[in-house]
Structure 1
Amino acid sequence: MDEIKTTPAQENYIEAIYLMSHSKPVRPSELAENLGVKRASVSKFISSLV
C-alpha cells in the first residue's frame, strides 16, 4: 500500500480536528478560529480530503 504524504499544514488541520472532536463535532468556523485562518481556507482543506 502506498504511503500518504502530508504537508505540515495538513497535519496541523488534522491534529486540530482530532483534538477538537473529542467533546463535540467540529464546526469549520471553530476550526478556523482555532488555527487562526479564514473559514475559506478551512473549506478548501476539507474539500481536498474528499
Structure 2
Amino acid sequence: MNTVAQRLERVGRLLGEDWQSPARALEIQMALRLFPGTGPFWLVGVTRALG
C-alpha cells in the first residue's frame, strides 16, 4: 500500500530533493503552466506513476 509519505518520497526522487523550496516550487509551477499538456490532467499521470 502506498502512503502519502511514500508518494512524497517518490516525488522528491523525480523532481529533486529541493522540490519544496520556494524557488524550485516556483520553477515547477511555471513549467507546468508554460508547457502544453502539463496542466491539471498531467497530474493524473503523475498520480498513476506514483502508484
TM-score, normalised to structure 1, is 0.30
Structure with bigger RCO (C-alpha 8 Å, 6+ apart): 2
TM-score, normalised to structure 2, is 0.30
